[in-house]
Structure 1
Amino acid sequence: MIHHPSELLESDWIKIIREHAPGAEALGKLHPRQLELVYQQQWFNMLVPQVYGGMQFSLPQLVKTEEALSWADGSLGWTVTLCSGAGFFGGFIVPEVAQQIFKDKKACLAGSGADTGTATEQGGGYIINGSWKYASGVHHATHITINCRIVDAAGNPLTVDGSPLIRSFVLDKADVQLQSGWKYMGMVATGSDAYSIRNVHVHKNRTFEIVPDAAFIDEPIYNYPFLQLAEATLAANLSGMAVNFVDLCKEAFEFKATNLRRVSEANAELMMEARESAIILLNAARSAFFDAVDKSWDDITNEKYLKDVSRTSRILARIARETVDELYPYCGLLAASPDTELNRVWRDIHTASQHALLTFLE
């Protein structure tokens, strides 16, 4: 039988996360009390190498934890997922730099995967310019990761086998300028704002490549393909939000069945049956997803298992969206009020599910 996400979280943690979720939305970033809990539990460090003091979770442990956190609150779960995902880069960053970054127990990496910057070689390093959007958790970050196209002194892009030469960099947060850019209906507390960099020189040891052969830490998690890791962690977030929405529907439906303007017995039964069907469908997708993750983790070199992770991640993301949409009309105006948790979860999942990585089944 598939576990419920709540089984992985202490009741005190859930209380802290949810009590401060409205305040986090008002702030446009995680509430200080939520952030304190994140630091206490080292959730930003779930993928940081143990040699640097990180937790170095296995992939199955990671996705279950992230699903649970997104069940507690979508914005917190997403922020932890994206920032801990950037901590994964610790396995590929030059050790002397990684040690410097992660000696801070509150170290947090945020960034964007878009290659919207340029890097020009100069003086044992690079001159960085560019702007990037949607860096979840950037307000809590101590360091920023970026992707740049390498260009020559005249600004002409360098290529490898006809393709642009792209490198990843890790910079101190002081090197970037934050810009207000997150104005969407959901995931408000992720603080996924934009940032820019102008003529900043970084040493060549601040560049890294995210491929197994370039890893400095020889551990299974840093040999796992980054694409499937990203797909699985994002799908786990959508799953957690959907499970939370289904949970919240129980109270909403019971209220509609018993209040003074209650629905008929037949319609009350229809709502409850719809919820039970949603639970069965969602749990089946979750079970297939976690099974695929487990198999791929046990045999990282098996291409079929990796493809199954991609496939089940996309199916779970689609079913999470469809499950919420199926139940939403039965919730009444309660689900349309921006002050309710039900509405916040609806806004969060319909914003997070717009991520391009999980939009298409192929």
Structure 2
Amino acid sequence: MAKIPDTIINEIRANADNGNGNLTQGTLDYIYEAKLFKLFVPMELNGLMLSLPEALKVFEKAAWIDGSFGWLVTIGSGGGFFSATLAPEQARQFFSHSKAVVAGSGHPNGVAKRVDGGYNVSGEWKYCSGSTYASVFTANCRIQNEDGEEEQVRSFAFLPEQVSIIKDWNAFGLKATESHTIAVEQAFVPTERTFDTSSAPNYEYPIFRYPFLPFAQTSFAAVCLGICRHFLEESRSFAEAREVSWSQSYPLRLQGLLHKLEEQEARLEAVSEQFYNSVVHSWEDFITDFTLPEAKQDEVSQICKEVARASLECAHTIFPLLGMTALMEDNLLNRIWRDLHTVTQHSVLVSV
């Protein structure tokens, strides 16, 4: 895909610096134009249909620009998976237009009761990133039979007018992701707007058969790399701006900071190389027969968790050397640090 223009990068960063809790309309318009929410939407539905390694580079670059921007591009793109599991006509309706983007949740927090032609659904789902501009919402529900007993879990697609957004995203990082709770109350969903994510996809693109867990882990690990890279770059700029004054008043701190920056920059490059090598090799193996052995999935999982761990340790090593300025919430370094901690808190990246 084309390089993101400097004007867009500057707009995104300026908006984040101003503390705004959402993307500007100009940024959203660029995302739609560049199809950044449609990296995994089939070309038949006006998508880009990138390979996994190609998309991860986009996620990292977007997260390097700004953590919230990178997270929204990553999550928005992930919703493209449903274009292959929804009924074809529904997929065309929801994904072929230029502003198509999904918000939702995989947790089965809703209850669906069968009625003529479909289901009546009620429930609430937390952490639905991009909720305020989603063109369609998806969520998992437990099917309830006539006896009130709950059966299998199924996925449902809701129209925006059926969904209430509870604006409760109050995390200390990724503030502009608008990862609010969504709710529906007795929303009718016709059978054709329900789907099973484990069913055979309607398109033969490899990504639709790639296992979901390593897909999520690699996507979020790429975001970690981008945010950490931004943090180290801004830390170096911070050190360079203070070189003259600190050489006089804090010479040991300056020397220590520059030395640690060199170490952590080298460490991040090393783990980044390992990560992409692992992903590319696993992807090349996968597309030969659309299978990824458990041992290979474990290998990908471990390097993703190592990326998250190394990114945090890089930030933890540098942050204490930045002085009091970095403690201020309106400082850029502080915001990037908080964004990094928010991403690495995701359960698929946590080592236990």
What per-residue deviation string (whole Å, max 9, x for no partner) do you get for residues 151-192 of structure 1? 11343111xxxxxx1111111111111101101111110011
Aligned AA for 1:135?
Answer: C
Aligned AA for 2:127?
Answer: Y
Distance 1:331 1:245 in 2: 12
The one of 307, 321, 324 aligned to 1:330 = 321
Do the aligned partners of 2:72 and 2:177 also contact (CA within 8 Å) in 1? yes
Shift of 1:87: 1.5
Shift of 1:261: 8.0
Shift of 1:13: 2.9
Equivalent residue number for residue 155 of structure 2: 168
Aligned AA for 1:43?
Answer: L
Distance 1:292 1:258 in 2: 42
The one of 52, 71, 75 aligned to 2:68 = 75
Aligned AA for 1:81?
Answer: T
Aligned AA for 2:84?
Answer: G
Do the aligned partners of 1:48 and 1:90 also contact (CA within 8 Å) in 2? yes
Equivalent residue number for residue 302 of structure 1: 292
What per-residue deviation string (whole Å, max 9, x for no partner) do you get for residues 116-156 of structure 1? 11111211211111000010111110100101111113431
1:206 aligns with 2:201: no
1:348 aligns with 2:339: yes
Equivalent residue number for residue 254 of structure 2: 268
Shift of 1:94: 0.8
Aligned AA for 1:176?
Answer: V
Aligned AA for 2:120?
Answer: I
Aligned AA for 1:336?
Answer: L
Do the aligned partners of 2:143 and 2:153 also contact (CA within 8 Å) in 1? yes
The one of 210, 213, 235 aligned to 1:227 = 213
What secondary structure, in the 3-state scheme, does the structure 2 residue paired with 1:236 have? helix
What secondary structure, in the 3-state scheme, does the structure 2 residue paired with 1:20 have? helix
For 1:247-262, what aligned pairs fall within 5 Å after superposition?
A: 247-259=233-245, 262=248
What per-residue deviation string (whole Å, max 9, x for no partner) do you get for residues 203-260 of structure 1? 111112223x521111111111111111110111111100100000112122343227
Query: Which sections of structure 2, spanning at least 5 residues, go unmatched?
Result: none
Shift of 1:201: 1.1
Normalised by the length of structure 2, the TM-score is: 0.94
Shift of 1:266: 3.4
Distance 1:302 1:133 in 2: 31
What secondary structure, in the 3-state scheme, does the structure 2 residue paired with 1:201 have? strand
Q: Name the CA shift for 1:157/1:43 in 2 (closer, same or farther; >3 Å).
A: same
Do the aligned partners of 1:176 and 1:196 also contact (CA within 8 Å) in 2? yes
1:186 aligns with 2:173: yes
Do the aligned partners of 1:20 and 1:33 also contact (CA within 8 Å) in 2? no
Query: Which sections of structure 1, spanning at least 5 residues, go unmatched?
Result: 1-6, 159-164
Distance 2:256 2:144 in 1: 61
Do the aligned partners of 2:253 and 2:321 also contact (CA within 8 Å) in 1? no
Q: Name the CA shift for 1:305/1:9 in 2 (closer, same or farther; >3 Å).
A: farther
Equivalent residue number for residue 124 of structure 2: 131
Distance 1:352 1:16 in 2: 22
Do the aligned partners of 2:247 and 2:254 also contact (CA within 8 Å) in 1? no
What secondary structure, in the 3-state scheme, does the structure 2 residue paired with 1:43 have? coil
Distance 1:239 1:8 in 2: 18
Distance 2:3 2:331 in 1: 25
Aligned AA for 2:228?
Answer: A
Equivalent residue number for residue 107 of structure 2: 114
What per-residue deviation string (whole Å, max 9, x for no partner) do you get for residues 35-93 of structure 1? 12211211011111111111111000111100100000000110111111112211111
Equivalent residue number for residue 47 of structure 1: 40
Aligned AA for 2:172?
Answer: M
Distance 2:170 2:248 in 1: 37
Shift of 1:263: 4.3
Normalised by the length of structure 1, the TM-score is: 0.91
Aligned AA for 1:248?
Answer: E
Distance 2:248 2:332 in 1: 22
Equivalent residue number for residue 17 of structure 1: 12
Shift of 1:309: 1.4
Do the aligned partners of 1:29 and 1:139 also contact (CA within 8 Å) in 2? no
What secondary structure, in the 3-state scheme, does the structure 1 residue paired with 2:329 have? coil
4+ residue segments displaced more than 6 Å: none
1:87 aligns with 2:74: no
Q: Name the CA shift for 1:147/1:263 in 2 (closer, same or farther; >3 Å).
A: farther
Distance 2:312 2:248 in 1: 27
Shift of 1:262: 4.6
Distance 1:219 1:254 in 2: 47
Equivalent residue number for residue 276 of structure 2: 290
Do the aligned partners of 2:110 and 2:141 also contact (CA within 8 Å) in 1? yes
What secondary structure, in the 3-state scheme, does the structure 2 residue paired with 1:116 have? strand
What secondary structure, in the 3-state scheme, does the structure 2 residue paired with 1:299 have? helix
